[in-house]
Amino acid sequence: MSATPEKTSRRLAAKTAAATVALCLATGVGGAYAYWATVGAGSGAATNGSMATVTVEALVAGDSPQNTLVPGGTADVAVRAHNPNGHAVQVYAIRGNGAATVDANHSACSGVTFTSPAAPLNPVVTIPPNSSIVITLPGAAAMSLDSPSLCQGATFGLPVTLEARK
């Protein structure tokens, strides 16, 4: 008894399907094994740039009555900060860094102090890259009640340290 063309066709289709399934399984298992079993090695390098120093200058701001120091009073302090970096920096804190100085014409004048604002500064102050800004610190300069009247018209320098972060 000979095989009919229909049976031969079915057998060929079954064998082809079985071979295809076996090939897919072998390739899939082999691919999965290669994915999980492959080991690679390499190296990389990076450098950390350094941040240039942000400079600062502080002085009592303005001539208007609300900013004039008087014995027993306070005045705003203007801080001029310069960012020489190619990226913006955030001013985190401004702290007093020594005693107040006075101009040469008022050398006997004393009794001025600087009060540091709370850190971190609120609102946040950002200095754009390669630029300067003026930051106003309300009521940060104070004059003692004991300051003599010869302090009238004096200009005070207030040494401060500015902490900046990227």
Cα gap 137→76, rounded to integer Å: 6
Cα gap 76→158, rounded to integer Å: 12
Place of tokens 């942000």: 54
pLDDT in the model for residue 64: 47
pLDDT in the model for residue 23: 57
Instruction: Answer yes or no: is pLDDT of 91 > 60.
Output: yes
Question: How does DSSP assign 59-111, residue by residue?
Answer: EE--SSGGG---TT-EEEEEEEEEE-SSS-EEEEEEEE-S--EE-GGGTT---
| 10-42 per-position pLDDT tens digit | 676 667 666 665 555 555 555 555 555 555 555
Tell me the HSE value of 140 on the side-chain side, using a 13 A CA sphere: 25
Instruction: Answer yes or no: is pLDDT of 127 > 90.
Output: yes
pTM score: 0.64
pLDDT in the model for residue 104: 92
Residue 10 φ/ψ region, left for φ over 0, alpha for ψ in the -120 to 50 degree band, beta for the rest: alpha
Q: Residue length, the chain?
A: 166
